[in-house]
Amino acid sequence: MKCLIVAAGQGTRLREKGELKPLIPIRGVPLIERVIANGARAGIDEFIVVTGYRAEQLQERLGEFSRRAGIHITRIFNRAWDRANGVSVLSAKQYLDEPFLLTMCDHLVDPEILRRLIEAPQEPDTVTLGVDFNITNPLNDPEDVTRVKCEGERLMHIGKVIRDFNCFDTGVFRCTPVMFEALEESQARGDDSISGAMNVLAEWGKARVFDIGDRLWVDVDDPIAFGKAEALLDEGRL
């Protein structure tokens, strides 16, 4: 299975750790290399990385890592990298005509989450989001995390500021090409984000959730989260 990784933004909240977020070392290993290595451990055999900000530098480093690790990495440049993340996903449409995983370059996820999501049954023409029902976990920033309302396995609503929610978005999706249709529809409505596309899919009855259980994940998007991720790596828990 292929995995699409969004790595186009500036990552300004981690600027004190490094100029280019995907290449910031965390315990000596660039963040995006950890994301890709975790995916490979879960059984993913091909990666597509969407670059944008300082793309030339990132693409060169990805090429070096690909050769060194023996991992196939296709690099795509998103000229509109300063727009929301859904634009980066849509830029990979021509490369993906079968089910694929989607994740972010700054989300460190237990490989078992990816493995279980790959192996889980999926209805045709649906997109499944990995969700965390442990909404009191101190690893998550309640003021920043994306909130999700679901009923059973159906995703009903998603967003940063929704008040009615029962789980959190882990930033890991198992997609079918219907994701691209939803992204186009969401953008036509003025919302360039992945969450906007998931809300469209919810309207269409095609958005699902997958409970990650007690497995761990961290959105490494600021210095506090960076420190939490370092601690988990030191403990061998991530």
The reported pLDDT for the residue numbered 203 is 98
pLDDT tens-digit map of 16-72: 999 999 999 999 999 999 999 999 999 999 999 999 999 999 999 999 999 999 999
How many domains does the chain contain in total? 1
Can you tell me the distance from the alpha carbon of 122 to that of 130, in angstroms, rounded to the nearest whole number?
Answer: 13
Check residue 140 and give its pLDDT: 86
For the domain that residue 144 is a member of, what is the CATH number?
3.90.550.10
Place of tokens 């906007």: 196
Bridge partners (DSSP) of residue 150 are 155
- At which residue do the structure tokens 């292929």 appear? 2
Q: How far apart are CA 169 and CA 133, in angstroms?
A: 9
At 15 the pLDDT is 93
Torsion angle in degrees (nearest 10) through CA of 154, 86, 159, 82: 170
Distance, in Å, from the CA atom of 227 to the CA atom of 26, rounded to the nearest integer, reads 9
Among candidate residues 184, 180, 186, 190, the one with its CA nearest the CA of residue 203: 186
pLDDT of residue 161: 93
User: What is the distance between the alpha carbons of residues 42 and 44, in angstroms, rounded to a whole number?
Assistant: 6
pTM of the model: 0.96
Distance of alpha carbon 51 from alpha carbon 32, whole angstroms? 11
Rounded CA gap, 15 and 80, in Å?
A: 21
pLDDT for the residue numbered 89: 98
Domain containing 185: what range?
2-234
Cα distance between residue 180 and residue 42, in whole Å: 24
For residue 205, the SS3 value is coil
Which residues of the chain fall below pLDDT 70?
none
The Cβ of residue 35 has, within 10 Å, a number of other Cβ atoms equal to 24
pLDDT value of position 138: 86
Predicted pLDDT at 141: 86
